[in-house]
Amino acid sequence: MSSEATEATPGSGSLADRITKPEESKPTDAPSTGEDGAPAGHNGSELAEPDYTVEVKLSDLQADPNNPLFSVKSFEDLGLDERILKGLATMNFRKPSKVQERALPLLMSNPPKNLVGQSQSGTGKTAAFVLNVLSRLDLSTPEMQSSPQALILAPTRELARQIVGVIQIMGQFLDGLVIGTAVPADSNARTGKMDCSVVVGTPGTVQDMIKRRNLNPAQLKVLVLDEADNMLDQQGLGDQCIRAKAMLPRNVQIVLFSATFPAHVYRYAGKFAPNANEITLQHEELTVEGIKQLYMDCDNEEQKYQNLVQLYGLLTVGSSIIFVRTRSSAIEIERRMVAEGHTVASLTGGVEGSQRDAVIDAFRNGDAKVLITTNVLARGIDVSTVSLVVNYDVPEEYAQNKPSGTPDYQTYLHRIGRTGRFGRIGVAISFVANRGEWEMLRKIQEHFGCNIERIDTNDWDEVEEIIKKTIKSTRAQSTFKN
C-alpha cells in the first residue's frame, strides 16, 4: 500500500537559519531528522544524539517512578536475552538513547501495556519497538517459530523493508527467528503463507492476507504502527489499520510511534490504543538542524525543468531526492533527463513492487544518485548520503482529490528531513513557478518562522558555490542549537 498522495521573500541567507515550531505539551509536530540506529554500513549515522527532554505520561496511576526499571541506563538492566544484546552490539548501540531509557521499561513491562510515542527518527524509536518485539517472541519450537507473534505496520513497502533490515541485524543471533514481509506483490506473483514469527507489512496487504488465511493472527502478541499519524490520518490507510486491528486478539499490545502527531490524530490514537502510556520529546523548540533552505524563482514549468538540469552536477555530489506532485511528472522528468544523457531513477506508487525494491536498493548503495519520487518517500526513509532535496513542486494539501492552495506543512518538514541527517549537513531547494506556489512557500516560511533564501539563477557559478560550500561544510550551522 502506498502512502503517495495524488499529490517568501528573500531571507538573510544566514547558515543559522532553521525551521522552528514551538508546541504545547501535547505530542509535538516534530520533524523526522536522523538515522534509526544502524551502523554506517546499514545507513546509520553513528553520531551523537542531540540534547532533549523526554516526558512520560503514565496511564497507570500506580506506576512507581522509584522502580529501578522506571528508567534504564544500560540494555543489560532490561534482562534481555544475551543473543539480542549481541545483536545490539553489532549495531554499535552502546547504551540506550534518552527515548529508549524511558520507553523500553514501559514497552517491556508485564503484563504488556499499550504505548503512544512521539519521537523523531534518530532517537532510537525503531530499535525500541524492535527490541520489545524480539524480547516477547517464543521461538522454543518449530511450530512457534512459524507462528506470527508480532505484526509491524508501515505506510510504504520501502519503510517496511527498512524495518525488516533492522530486525535482521538485531535478531541475527536468535535461532529460529523468521521474518515475513507482507507488502503488495507484483501483478504476476502469488502471495505465500506467512509461516514466520514476525510480520512487517503494509495495512492493506496484511488485512487481505488475514482474510485469505495466509496470515494466522491467533498467536499475535504485539501490534506496532510506525509513522502512526500518517497511517491513522490518511484516507484508506486508517480504515485498513482499523479493520486489521479488529482481526487481531483483543489482548494484543498496541505500540504507536510517529515523528509527528497533529492534535486530531493524537486524540484518535488514544482510541486506537486505549489506556496507553505516552512518550513525548520536549524541546523548547523543535528544529530541523543542519538544513540550508533555498528557493528558485522560475518563470514557468519548463524553467523548473531547465533549472533541474542545470543543478544536475550538484545533485550528484552526494545523493539527491527530487519530490514532484504526481506520478506522471516523475516519469516525464526521468524520460527527458535520461534522453539528455543524465543518470536518474524514479520511484512512485505506480511502479511494480520488485522494481521499486530494485530502485531504492540502487539508491541506498550509490548506484543511482538522483531519485525522482512523489510523497511515497517523504516519510521514514533514511539514506545517510542524501545531501540535497529538491521540492520540484511545493507540497500542497488536497481536498476531495483537488489541490486546495494550502501548503502541506507536515509533508514539507518530512521531505526536507530526508537530508541534513542528524548532525550531517544538507540543502533543500524549492522551485516556485506561479503565484500559488509563491503564496504557499510564503505561508511555509511564516508558519515555521524560518528564512528560505532566494538564489539568483542568473548566476549559476554563485548558485554552485553556495550549495557546494554548504554541503562540504562540517556543519550547516556553526552554532547549532541542541
- Which CATH number fits the domain that encloses residue 312? 3.40.50.300
Confidence grade of residue 301 (pLDDT, cut at 50, 70, 90): very high
Tell me the average pLDDT across 97-122.
84
The mean pLDDT value of the chain amounts to 78
pLDDT reported for residue 10: 37
For residue 156, give the C-alpha cell: 510504504
Domain boundary pick from 234, 261, 285? 285
Residue 19, Cβ density class (10 Å: 0-12 exposed, 13-18 middle, ≥19 buried): buried
Strands 402-407, 277-282: pairing kind: unpaired
Domain boundary pick from 285, 302, 336? 285
Residue 28 inside a domain? The answer is: no
Residue 10 inside a domain? The answer is: no
In 3D space, the residue among 122, 97, 412, 114 whose CA is nearest the CA of residue 259 turns out to be 122
User: Is the pLDDT assigned to residue 429 strictly greater than 90?
Assistant: yes
The one-letter amino acid code at 125 reads K
CB 369 within 8 A of CB 316: yes
Residue 18 inside a domain? The answer is: no
Q: What is the DSSP letter of 379?
A: S
Q: Are residues 414 and 347 in the same domain?
A: yes
pLDDT reported for residue 41: 46
Q: Are residues 67 and 193 in the same domain?
A: yes
Q: Looking at per-residue confidence, does 323 or 63 come out higher?
A: 323
Q: Are residues 113 and 235 in the same domain?
A: yes
Q: Are residues 201 and 334 in the same domain?
A: no
Residue 145 inside a domain? The answer is: yes
Residue 5 inside a domain? The answer is: no
Q: Are residues 280 and 296 in the same domain?
A: no
Q: Are residues 115 and 87 in the same domain?
A: yes
User: Is the pLDDT assigned to residue 63 strictly greater than 90?
Assistant: no
For residue 51, give the C-alpha cell: 540534547
Q: Virtual CA dihedral for 2, 412, 238, 200, nearest 10 degrees?
A: 50
The strand pairing partners of 116, in sequence order, are: 256, 278
User: Is the pLDDT assigned to residue 314 strictly greater than 80?
Assistant: yes
CA distance 333 to 323: 11
Residue 2 inside a domain? The answer is: no
For residue 141, give the C-alpha cell: 519450537
Cα distances (Å, whole numbers) of residue 425 to 135, 138, 219, 335, 380: 36, 43, 45, 30, 18
Q: Are residues 450 and 355 in the same domain?
A: yes
Cα distances (Å, whole numbers) of residue 127 to 169, 222, 292, 432: 11, 15, 29, 39
Residue 51, Cβ density class (10 Å: 0-12 exposed, 13-18 middle, ≥19 buried): exposed
Residue 15 inside a domain? The answer is: no
Model's pTM, two decimal places? 0.71
The one-letter amino acid code at 272 reads F
CA distance 345 to 363: 8
Q: How many CB atoms are located within 10 Å of the residue 16 CB?
A: 12
Burial readout 242-262 (b: 16 or more C-beta within 10 A, e: otherwise): eebbeebeeebbbbbbbbbbb
User: Is the pLDDT assigned to residue 420 strictly greater than 70?
Assistant: no
Q: Are residues 243 and 322 in the same domain?
A: no
Total number of domains in the chain: 2
pLDDT 10s digits, 443-476: 998 888 888 999 988 888 888 888 888 777 644 4
Q: Looking at per-residue confidence, does 6 or 470 come out higher?
A: 470
Over the Cα atoms of the chain, what is R_g?
22
Q: Are residues 256 and 302 in the same domain?
A: no
Domain boundary pick from 261, 285, 309? 285
User: Is the pLDDT assigned to residue 42 strictly greater than 50?
Assistant: no
CA distance 10 to 455: 8
Q: Looking at per-residue confidence, does 177 or 410 come out higher?
A: 177
Q: Are residues 207 and 233 in the same domain?
A: yes
Tell me the average pLDDT across 376-394.
81
Residue 122 inside a domain? The answer is: yes
Confidence grade of residue 33 (pLDDT, cut at 50, 70, 90): very low
- Give residues with Cβ within 8 angstroms of 5, minimum separation 6: 374, 375, 398, 408, 411
Q: Looking at per-residue confidence, does 281 or 16 come out higher?
A: 281
CA distance 397 to 409: 9
Q: How many CB atoms are located within 10 Å of the residue 341 CB?
A: 7
Q: Are residues 266 and 336 in the same domain?
A: no
Q: Looking at per-residue confidence, does 258 or 297 come out higher?
A: 297
For residue 401, give the C-alpha cell: 482529490
Residue 66, Cβ density class (10 Å: 0-12 exposed, 13-18 middle, ≥19 buried): exposed
Q: Looking at per-residue confidence, does 400 or 172 come out higher?
A: 172
CB 393 within 8 A of CB 378: no
Half-sphere exposure of 118 (CA within 13 A, CB side): 29
Q: What is the DSSP letter of 374?
A: -
CA distance 414 to 389: 11
Q: Looking at per-residue confidence, does 186 or 305 come out higher?
A: 305
CA distance 377 to 2: 9
For residue 412, give the C-alpha cell: 514539507
Strand segments (E) across 345-391: 345-347, 370-373, 386-391
Lowest mean pLDDT of 12-26, 138-152, 203-217, 422-436, name the range: 12-26
Q: Are residues 253 and 179 in the same domain?
A: yes
For residue 468, give the C-alpha cell: 557546494
CA distance 310 to 304: 10
pLDDT reported for residue 281: 66
pLDDT reported for residue 475: 44
Length of the chain: 482
CA distance 397 to 411: 9
The 3-state DSSP class for residue 135 equals helix
Tell me the average pLDDT across 358-372.
88
Domain that holds residue 174: 54-285
Q: Quick one: the chain helix, strand, coil %, rounded to 5?
A: 35, 20, 45
